[in-house]
Amino acid sequence: MSAIDDLFARLRLEGRKALMPFVTAGDPDLEFTGAVLREVVSRGAALCEVGIPYSDPIADGPVIQASYTRALAKKVKLAEILRMLGGVAPMLAAPVVTMVSYAIIYRHGLARYVDDAQAAGAAGAIVPDLLVEESAELVKVCRERDFSLVQLVTPTTPRERAVRIAENTTGFIYYVSVTGITGERTELPPKLLDDVAWLRGRTPLPVCIGFGISKPEHVRLLAPVADGLIVGSAIVRRIAEAATRPREAVIKEVGDYVSELIAALG
């Protein structure tokens, strides 16, 4: 079992749900990224997602796109990100996964990427632009190494295809709550609860919901049907203020926000 499998098995025994903060690696710099990871885990985050900046993001909204642009402008490199993770992830009481484009994995080499990420303490990867029809080779590499390969199901994914994606996923399924791009929203689709309940009835994998979650009321609405909730843009937006405010204050604000959302999980 991977560290992510262990995490969700434990949470289910304890009757708890996972809150998963997302941060962009290298925004504003890698030292700050490491500090935020330590802060959110100390506040109770169950799992952390670290975005690997990419020049052509697939579904990221303007907040996360801007963070990728800032990190890339500082020429942050994959090797540097993994080095940072290697100094932080093994000390965290929560698994870390990378959110990474398949183009980056392919260019690095599939087995090499997984080996290097594991050596840095990562437990898995979320690959948003990996088509299930083209996933067999990476699925094989990840399964051989017990490295979780998280794939996405969206509201427009045909149900037969959603089942196929689930069969080629390990760790958890990332369920996209809305059509379109990431970003904070005031409301979530009413059909979302039914769709997630349907998917959970067809796979033993945990189902975690992301995109648009930013408020405690979102958390209270979705927690009954989800195994975990993913929060990205609302955190990245707060981190962006580190450019003009004291870093310690920004880190504390992010921690306070994560604590507020975890409290809403019940």
* Residues designated catalytic: 49, 60
What would the 3-class secondary structure string for 135-165 be? CHHHHHHHHHHCCEEECEECCCCCHHHHHHH
Comparing CA positions, the residue from 246, 185, 239 lying closest to residue 21 is: 239
Q: CA-based Rg of the chain, rounded to a whole angstrom? A: 17
Q: What are phi and psi of 12, to 5 degrees?
A: -65, -40
Q: Which residues contact 242 (CB under 8 A, 6 or more apart)?
A: 28, 32, 250
Are 181 and 152 in contact by the 8 Å Cβ rule? The answer is: no
Comparing CA positions, the residue from 83, 86, 23 lying closest to residue 49 is: 23
What's the CA gap between 49 and 33, in Å, rounded? 11
